[in-house]
Amino acid sequence: MAFYKGTGTALRDGWTRHTLHPMRGYLFDLDGTLFRGNTPIPSAVKKVQELHRAGAIVRYVTNNSTQTREHFAAKLQGMGYPCEPAEVVSSGYGTGLFLANEGLKTAYVVGEPGLVATLAEHGIESTGDQNPDAVVVGLCRQFTYDLMREAMFRIRAGARFVATNPDATYPVEGGGLIPGAGSVVAAIQTCSETEPFVVGKPNPFLIQAALQEAGLAPEEALVVGDRLDTDIESGRSAGCPTFLVLTGVAASIPPGQQGGEDLSSLPW
């Protein structure tokens, strides 16, 4: 095993100052943790490259449902992150996994083309049919009253209501916010009077999927993110140690929470 577990071998300066051992695996959030918009966070690129070189298992876990895994991998690679599409666990990917696990084969999708394509990877057919197995709702920047009404009809008729993620807002380049998937989900939840199953963080579903696919036990993987209420909460719920960074949403590290200014302060 290539990574630097154990004592007596100094693989980088200062290693012996730390008493904690490195982990077998690292599950990184994307936005606010590895990049901001289209701008990589340099200390994060350096750290993830180091961990990857040392043989650690790295997975990229995001609530973003609008793009395919290939798209996320290409974006991360372009920033210098070592990333293959199979190492990305997005909420769209998790939604496809959830539907397949539940035996749900067709879905009316309120979302973007990347979500439709990601569901298709799991054999889920997107349909305009009146009686789909599920209604899947994610971030949809073309959301209309008609889409809301069509989703409502189908959920009231018995289709399973599945939401990709609950985020109220979504950060865009320059520090601004746009309405997130959770806002679209809330509209459809209100008119259908039905609670969705929400796949994304803080539900531990994505973390558990990443652990299972990587062959990691919860205690072997560090969940790293910039939000306490989603990233850190999902990691805790899955039974993983967690690490909060201040490069995104969180402004301080609460007492008892492991964390640092950025990824350079990861003690492993």
Q: Measured between alpha carbons, how far is residue 245 from residues 40, 48, 71, 187 in Å?
A: 14, 14, 24, 32
Question: Which residue lies nearer to Mg ion by CB, 112 or 226?
Answer: 226
**Any idea which residue has 């293959």 for tokens?**
84
Residue 133 makes contact with Mg ion by CB under 5 A? no
User: Are 244 and 215 contacting, i.e. CB atoms less than 8 angstroms apart?
Assistant: no
Answer for which of 32, 196, 200, 204 binds Mg ion (CB under 5 A) is 32
CB of 217 to Mg ion, least distance (A): 24
Q: Write the single-letter amino acid at 4.
A: Y
Instruction: Identify whether 31 is a catalytic site residue.
Output: yes
Question: Which residue lies nearer to Mg ion by CB, 44 or 140?
Answer: 44
Question: Which residue lies nearer to Mg ion by CB, 41 or 162?
Answer: 41
Number of residues in contact with Mg ion under rule CB under 5 A: 5
Query: Is 13 labelled a binding residue?
Result: no
Query: Is 146 labelled a binding residue?
Result: no
3-state secondary structure of 148: helix
Q: Write the single-letter amino acid at 124.
A: I
For residue 133 the two structure tokens come to 């197995």
Residue 112 makes contact with Mg ion by CB under 5 A? no
Residue 226 makes contact with Mg ion by CB under 5 A? yes
Q: Name the one range near Mg ion by CB under 5 A: 3-11, 104-112, 188-196, 245-253.
A: 245-253
User: Are 220 and 25 contacting, i.e. CB atoms less than 8 angstroms apart?
Assistant: yes
Closest CA to 42 of 14, 81, 3, 71: 81
Question: Which residue lies nearer to Mg ion by CB, 29 or 262?
Answer: 29
Q: Name the one range near Mg ion by CB under 5 A: 51-59, 91-99, 137-145, 218-226.
A: 218-226
Residue 233 makes contact with Mg ion by CB under 5 A? no
Query: Is 31 labelled a binding residue?
Result: yes
Instruction: Identify whether 231 is a catalytic site residue.
Output: no
Residue 29 makes contact with Mg ion by CB under 5 A? yes
For residue 108 the two structure tokens come to 């009316």
User: Are 128 and 108 contacting, i.e. CB atoms less than 8 angstroms apart?
Assistant: yes
Residues near 38 by beta carbon (within 8 Å), at least 6 away in sequence: 75, 173
For residue 147 the two structure tokens come to 């889409």
The contact set with Mg ion (CB under 5 A) reads: 29, 31-32, 226, 248
